[in-house]
Structure 1
Amino acid sequence: MQFNLAAKDPHSKARAGTITTDHGQIQTPIFMPVGTLATVKGVHQRELTEEIDPDIILGNTYHLYLRPQIDILEKAGGLHKFMNWDRNILTDSGGYQVYSLSANRKIKEEGVKFKSHIDGSYHVFTPENVMDIQRSIGADIIMAFDECTPYPCDYDYAKRSMHMTHRWLDRCLNRLEEVPYKYDYSQTFFPIVQGSTYKDLRKQSAEYIASVGAEGNAIGGLSVGEPAEEMYAMTEVVCEVLPEDKPRYLMGVGTPINILENIALGIDMFDCVMPTRNGRNGMLFTAHGTINIKNKKWEDDFSPIDEMGITWVDTAYSKAYLRHLFSVGEMLGRQIASIHNLGFYLWLVREARKHILAGDFASWKDQMVRQMNQRL
């Protein structure tokens, strides 16, 4: 993998760059649609490619390990071929899913024993077998196995967890040296900064992660319930330490405003289920604020869903029609809203890139935050 910085905003820490892998280029800043189970929920690959047009999507190690299972993915020739996607894929390590199973898992130095949310069967994730699994899935960018701490989290627990995450990182690196690529392209590995909401721990973790010299770095353990101001404070601390010539990925973030504020702090890559999950519940994100399409006020509004939208659904359907689909429980409504929201997120990061290149990102960002902070 290669990362080239093209520009920096003169009034913030925002950067525009290009990541190049064997599956093509990724223009940063970038938002990665989440394809948990080898699909971005409710969206055909053709719509994903032609309308939303992301350079990279995200798959989930925990879920793919359970279904369709690794032997199926290997027989298919990897996740790219299984889901008919010829662009970049990043897989997370399953650490966040293990965190979310707090009532059904035990964390030890060796790894994590957890109970499947599907059938109650028991499984063990270790740094070593998670690397093996991600080799089999075959994503272009794979993540270290880490522990995602909850919020709030006491200092001593956060410190112990951080050091264990660092030890697990060393084991991940050792395993990757032993296990070659399974397919005819290379994979890039990102370690993950932890430390909860404690600045000294975040700084210490960022220093350790930076010392590894990986081709990119990630920040985990945020967007788990902490106030946005805490998230921004931790991001700022970490970005001051992580190397400038490597991409920085903030995991699981977030709202459109979260994304813009973190771009301003130096983040290059994002992912979140919010555009599709909120879309399925009737929330539409736009450049002028959020729309709850279920509200009665849209019942006879025959204007386009979003005249500024980049996808075909934005002007093909009216707000009244989309509200009708939700009111009668038609799955088409959820699909339309998901496509719109993903299109908006990709539009947002691409506009951010344009303004970084133009040198006026900071002022544009402040204007966009004011606009998007409204409910229509």
Structure 2
Amino acid sequence: MTDRFSFHLLGTDGGARRGEIRLPRGAIRTPAFMPVGTAGTVKAMYPDQVRALGADIILGNTYHLMLRPGAERVARLGGLHVFANWPHPILTDSGGFQVMSLAQLRKLDETGVTFQSHVDGSRHVLTPERSVEIQLLLDSDIIMQLDECVRLPAEEAEVARAMRLSLRWAERSKRAFGERPDRAIFGIVQGGDVAHLRIESARELAAMDFPGYSVGGLAVGEPQAVMLAMLETTNPVLPADKPRYLMGVGTPDDIIESVARGIDMFDCVMPTRAGRHGLAYTRFGKINLKNARHAEDSRPLDEASDCPAARDYSRAYLHHLFKTDEMLGAMLLSWNNLAYYQALMAGIRAAIDERRFEDFRRTTKEGWERGDLPAAA
């Protein structure tokens, strides 16, 4: 155990990095995938299931929790770890992305964002200082600065304006966070798909000496090649001795390619959202259990998996659950998908440790392309 936040770079293999974040509530093995618990729950999963799959940390969402049940209420009830029965590290985002994408009648200025809740129309003001205050009330271990995320494509002038506003908000967020060695606040690199703006943002944030750095404003509709090009531009500018978090990413392919470019942390709703809609992620690629061809397929998703959802239920049964709208279908596929994501991260970490990451990257992607589970008899 430790009484302060720290990051230790344990090894590299090419551009891929192997490390460990240490916090009072536990260690986070990197590269890490953080299941998303938007409103204090990883949807369709029990907390002990999430932990058993290998998750060292989960993510909570400031925007949703400030609206329901309210940050002050969560604080009175012991903080998010107690409230959600997750005694391990929690990262919270700033709420900025959800304000831009979900809130009604929002107005943005230098001070912050004034918006109406998408839940009940109530009026709220989110400033860098209030975002940090909410995240501290939630008792988050890793806090994000408030930033403005511009959807792509966008005009360069608009991207530059939002990026520089985010830099000013970064200074205010860090000041509001103060000196708290037992947790951390991360700055967020913005700049859209414009390389020189990404470099400017990364350099300015590095000069502020944050404990860690997030790369935001990607995976918002741009092609994967653009996202990867921005990582290749950004990561060399960020301090090598600080963790790097790519926000909201993504698919297994996005993750493995981003690890190759030096990213340490990921989060995405994709595995649980896909699971609720009948889509399974496996080492053989994606499988849509709603397709009629699975109706009489007695094979499991993956007979070699350690996860009971993948190993012990037939594709025919899973297909049946989704055709009849049984909630067990969403539960089983969410379980399967998070198990696959955590197994992928464990495989990545082992490959970096053993300096065989490129081979792991190649064979993993070949498995997705081949789809090589033996055919049913």
TM-score band by shorter chain is over 0.9
* Equivalent residue number for residue 357 of structure 1: 353
Matched, 1:243 2:239: yes
* Equivalent residue number for residue 268 of structure 1: 264
Matched, 1:133 2:134: yes
| TM-aligned CA deviation for residue 375 of structure 1 | 6.8
1:49 to 48, 51, 60: 51
C-alpha contact 2:113 2:126 (8 A) present in aligned 1: yes
Matched, 1:35 2:37: yes
| TM-aligned CA deviation for residue 150 of structure 1 | 0.8
* Equivalent residue number for residue 11 of structure 2: 7
| TM-aligned CA deviation for residue 49 of structure 1 | 2.1
CA distance in 2, matches of 1:269, 1:175: 24
Identify which range, 41-50 or 215-224, moves more after superposition: 41-50
C-alpha contact 1:28 1:353 (8 A) present in aligned 2: yes
Deviations 1:38-91 (A, max 9, x none): 0000101122222x2300000000000001111221111110001111111000
Q: 1:185-204, aligned counterparts within 5 Å?
A: 186-204=182-200
* Equivalent residue number for residue 108 of structure 2: 107
CA distance in 2, matches of 1:356, 1:270: 17
| TM-aligned CA deviation for residue 317 of structure 1 | 1.0
Matching residue's letter, 2:274: N
| TM-aligned CA deviation for residue 372 of structure 1 | 2.0
Matched, 1:162 2:163: yes
CA distance in 1, matches of 2:103, 2:41: 26
* Equivalent residue number for residue 21 of structure 1: 23
Q: 1:1-376, aligned counterparts within 5 Å?
A: 1-9=5-13, 12-50=14-52, 52-101=53-102, 104-177=105-178, 186-373=182-369
Matching residue's letter, 1:218: S
Identity over the aligned pairs, expressed in percent? 45
Aligned Cα RMSD in Å?
1.4
CA distance in 2, matches of 1:40, 1:239: 30
Greater length-normalized contact order (CA 8 Å, ≥ 6 residues apart): 1
SS of structure 1 residue aligned to 2:305: coil
Structure 2: unaligned runs, 5 residues or longer? 373-377
* Equivalent residue number for residue 375 of structure 2: none
CA distance in 1, matches of 2:192, 2:259: 20
CA distance in 2, matches of 1:357, 1:199: 31
Deviations 1:200-220 (A, max 9, x none): 000110101111111111000
TM norm structure 2: 0.95
CA distance in 2, matches of 1:170, 1:369: 41
C-alpha contact 1:293 1:323 (8 A) present in aligned 2: yes
Deviations 1:304-331 (A, max 9, x none): 2222323222222111111110010000
Matching residue's letter, 1:8: T
For these two proteins, the number of residue pairs brought into alignment is 368
